[in-house]
């Protein structure tokens, strides 16, 4: 009964961590074996019997009976006279099984057992949670705002588990108050030291794909396939969809009448503008659709270097590039090709690459990322627009403009 009472005193951990009794008893066995091994130097001659129904553990030490005066190891051997105190008819060479009472281990050992148990259960709890959340990576998850910090929002789910929503995984327009319910996808599960961190994301393209699955039955049923989704979170997204059933219009089914089906997704993502396009294996047609609504005159594809040159009329350039360069950037992400824009009908224009002696190459690359690859395309944009479309400082932009203006004046 002493063993049972002591074991029951350890059961607080089971209630705190929601660990089942059987797992608790097996962890206890490991903890006891470690402790007994330290005390007796070996646990090879120790039997631990677990009764999961009663929640009890019995510990038996087995020793061989040795002639008096010849005992060399008290843990493995017992003298004949000591053995006969336990049972009077023991003989030399027989094995004596003697129960070890936990109370006899001493208060200090029992406290040590409790500390070791707490550590083992913490490890078990973390391991179980790690496996649970690892299996949920890429799935939509909802949790409640518990605490708002400068670099992250701490969320708590229905089971009391902590979920982290870092600043870089939040949509810029997101605003949170304590008690709000937040949706995202489980992005990462990792350890920081001994602490398990579950990271939620609202900026991942996977979140957009999963919202399509939730809101559009044909996507959920597999009748429509999302080939690829790319995002500039909170601003604009492009989703390429396909269907193996010719009777289904993938784009129409996803958007719905007057955008009725996609509206809830747009609202969830902070009014992110979502373009849904039909996927095709025809690369030229796919590029044309990706750059919609711009009308392209000519496409030159360099498959080896994954580069595309497109020619457009001047009035179509701004459509292809889009607000803040989002349209061309997303088209490039969707097709996985670098896209360069060339304007037809632009007189006396000069490619930016011609200015490498005066403008640093990384500055030219930054302008080209925004679809600005000629001198006039830069000069046609004011400083404010260039600041929004690139990561360049105002001083750098002004220097570039002065260099380009001087060239045309000359």
Got the DSSP string for 150-214?
A: SSEEEEE-TT--EEEEEGGGS-TT----TT-EEEEEEEEEEEETTEEEEEEESSSHHHHHHHHHH
Span 133-156, pLDDT tens digits: 889 999 999 999 999 998 999 999
210: pLDDT confidence band, cut at 50, 70 and 90?
very high
| pLDDT higher than threshold 50 for residue 399 | yes
Strands 152-156 and 140-148: antiparallel
Q: Do 345 and 298 contact (CB within 8 A), yes or no? A: no
Confidence (pTM): 0.63
Span 74-105, pLDDT tens digits: 888 888 888 888 888 888 888 888 887 777 77
| pLDDT given at position 326 | 92
| pLDDT higher than threshold 90 for residue 246 | no
332: pLDDT confidence band, cut at 50, 70 and 90?
very high
7: pLDDT confidence band, cut at 50, 70 and 90?
low
Contacting residues for 301 by C-beta, under 8 A, at least 6 apart: 283, 284, 287, 307, 308, 337
Percent residues over pLDDT 90 in the chain: 39
Average pLDDT (236-248) is 93
Percent residues over pLDDT 70 in the chain: 90
| pLDDT higher than threshold 50 for residue 1 | no
Least confident of 78-87, 337-346, 397-406: 337-346
**Where is pLDDT greater, at 13 or 265?**
265
Average pLDDT (38-66) is 79
Give the right CATH number for 2-132 from 3.60.21, 3.30.1480, 1.10.3470, 1.10.357. Answer: 3.30.1480
Distance between CA atoms of residues 284 and 48, nearest Å: 72
Span 191-201, pLDDT tens digits: 776 678 999 99
Least confident of 92-96, 108-112, 128-132, 167-171: 108-112
| pLDDT given at position 6 | 54
| pLDDT given at position 13 | 53
Provide the edge-to-edge strand list for the sheet that holds 224-232: 224-232, 236-243, 273-278
CATH fold of 143-203 reads OB fold (Dihydrolipoamide Acetyltransferase, E2P) (2.40.50)
Distance between CA atoms of residues 218 and 225, nearest Å: 9
Span 263-304, pLDDT tens digits: 999 999 999 999 999 999 999 999 999 999 999 989 999 999
């Amino acid at each position: 009964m002493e063993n049972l009472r002591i074991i029951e005193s350890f059961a607080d951990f089971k209630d705190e961590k929601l660990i089942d009794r059987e797992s608790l008893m097996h962890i206890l066995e490991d903890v006891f074996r470690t402790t007994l091994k330290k005390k007796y130097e070996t646990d090879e001659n120790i039997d631990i019997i677990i009764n999961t129904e009663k929640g009890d553990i019995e510990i038996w030490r087995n020793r061989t009976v040795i002639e008096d005066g010849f005992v060399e190891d008290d843990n493995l051997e017992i003298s004949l006279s000591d053995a006969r105190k336990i049972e009077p008819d023991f003989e030399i060479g027989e094995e004596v099984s003697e129960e070890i009472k936990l109370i006899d281990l001493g208060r200090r050992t029992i406290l040590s057992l409790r500390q070791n148990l707490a550590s083992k259960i913490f490890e078990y709890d973390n391991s179980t949670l790690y496996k649970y959340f690892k299996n949920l990576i890429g799935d939509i998850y909802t949790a409640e705002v518990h605490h708002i910090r400068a670099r992250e929002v701490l969320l708590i789910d229905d089971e009391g588990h902590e979920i982290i929503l870092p600043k870089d995984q939040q949509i810029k327009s997101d605003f949170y108050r304590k008690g709000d319910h937040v949706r995202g996808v489980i992005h990462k599960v990792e350890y920081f030291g001994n602490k398990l961190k579950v990271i939620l994301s609202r900026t991942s393209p996977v979140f957009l794909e999963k919202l399509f699955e939730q809101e559009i039955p044909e996507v959920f049923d597999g009748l429509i396939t999302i080939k690829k989704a790319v995002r500039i979170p909170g601003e604009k997204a492009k989703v390429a969809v396909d269907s193996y059933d010719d009777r289904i219009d993938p784009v129409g089914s996803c958007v719905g009448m007057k955008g009725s089906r996609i509206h809830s997704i747009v609202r969830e993502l902070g009014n992110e503008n979502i373009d849904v396009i039909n996927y095709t294996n025809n690369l030229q047609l796919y590029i044309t659709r990706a750059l919609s609504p711009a009308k392209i005159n000519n496409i030159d594809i360099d498959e080896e270097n994954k580069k595309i040159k497109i020619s457009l009329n001047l009035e179509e350039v701004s459509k292809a590039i889009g607000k803040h360069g989002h349209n061309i950037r997303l088209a490039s992400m969707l097709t996985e090709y670098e896209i360069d824009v060339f304007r037809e009908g632009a007189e006396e224009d000069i490619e930016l690459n011609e200015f490498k002696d005066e403008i640093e190459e990384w500055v030219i690359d930054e302008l080209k990322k925004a679809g600005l690859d000629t001198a006039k395309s830069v000069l046609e944009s004011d400083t404010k627009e260039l600041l929004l479309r690139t990561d360049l400082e105002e001083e750098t932009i002004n220097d570039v403009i002065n260099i380009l203006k001087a060239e045309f004046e000359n």
